[in-house]
């Protein structure tokens, strides 16, 4: 197949929890805007756990921030827990109405009551700000290749699935260790910037060295799909207005 490789400059994330701002920083630089991940973090604060520790950014909120900074954003979600797949048949206003009702609805066990509400509100904010939301039943190769014809895209993935890696736990703000017993299977953000002639995907990973990796198609599809564990199985693409 035809290979595609958009020009990007790789960056490593400055802390354990800034993969999403770093992936976005790489994406924005592709379109000529230089802003560091820590600067993005000041604009889109990270969520925190019960102990007050930072645990990462909701990518929907990053997408909404991009809308407010002069980009059009097309977001594809494959989620079936915060989002209901039947909403794909509804108009924007009806989707927002259902989302508002959903905030106080069934609690997603893997993220709990507070984050079920936070994620639902993030969808409401994105759509209300003019974001282009596409609710899809599944991620497919055809979709990913078609998006790459237009440009790079930011995607959530399951890190363990992407690399066949162990669960892990943080040691401090910049270091983590493998822990197959007490570690967590963490979701992660990467920038997909191309594909090779065999159809494998080219990704810029803010965490895993050497930074640029080639991921075979079935593993890429699986890694995006299993990000459902935290309702993060989504991706988005920017276009300057």
| pLDDT, mean of each 10-residue run, the chain (241 residues) | 96 94 98 96 80 79 97 98 98 97 96 94 97 98 98 97 88 78 89 98 97 98 97 96 87
Q: Given this model, what pLDDT does residue 1 score? A: 93
CATH number of 4-240: 3.90.70.10
Provide the pLDDT for residue 55.
Answer: 66
By CB neighbour count within 10 A (0-12 exposed, 13-18 middle, 19+ buried), where does 15 fall? middle
Q: How many residues make up the chain in this entry?
A: 241
Strands annotated E in the chain = 4-5, 47-48, 54-56, 71-77, 132-135, 153-158, 168-170, 176-178, 187-195, 201-204, 212-215, 234-240
| pLDDT computed for residue 155 by the predictor | 98
| Cα 110 from Cα 1, distance rounded (Å) | 39
Which pLDDT value is given to residue 166? Answer: 83
pLDDT score of 186: 87
What pLDDT score does 185 carry?
Answer: 81
- CA-CA distance, 237 to 152, in Å (whole number)? 7
Per-residue confidence (pLDDT) for residue 122, from 0 to 100: 97
The whole-number pLDDT of residue 107 equals 98
What was the pLDDT predicted at 176? Answer: 79
Cβ atoms 4, 149 nearer than 8 A:
yes
Contact 132, 72 (CB under 8 A): yes
């Amino acid at each position: 197949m035809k290979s595609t490789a958009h020009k990007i400059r790789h960056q490593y994330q400055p802390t354990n929890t800034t993969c999403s701002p770093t992936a976005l920083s790489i994406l924005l630089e592709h379109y000529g805007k230089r802003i560091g991940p820590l600067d993005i973090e000041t604009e889109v604060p990270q969520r925190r756990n019960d102990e007050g520790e930072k645990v990462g950014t909701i990518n929907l909120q990053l997408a909404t921030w991009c809308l407010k900074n002069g980009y059009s954003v097309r977001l594809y979600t494959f989620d079936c827990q915060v989002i209901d797949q039947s909403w794909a048949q509804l108009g924007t206003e009806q989707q927002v109405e259902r989302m508002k009702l959903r905030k106080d609805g069934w609690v997603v066990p893997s993220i709990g009551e507070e984050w079920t509400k936070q994620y639902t509100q993030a969808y409401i904010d994105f759509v209300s700000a003019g974001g282009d939301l596409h609710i899809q039943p599944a991620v497919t190769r055809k979709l990913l290749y078609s998006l790459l014809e237009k440009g790079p895209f930011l995607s959530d993935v399951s890190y363990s699935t992407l690399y066949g890696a162990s669960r892990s736990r943080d040691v401090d703000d910049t270091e983590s260790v493998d822990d197959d017993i007490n570690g967590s299977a963490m979701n992660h953000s990467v920038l997909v910037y191309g594909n090779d002639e065999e159809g494998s995907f080219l990704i810029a990973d803010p965490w895993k060295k050497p930074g640029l990796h080639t991921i075979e198609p079935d593993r890429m599809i699986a890694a995006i799909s299993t990000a459902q564990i935290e309702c993060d199985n989504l991706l988005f693409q920017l276009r300057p207005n």
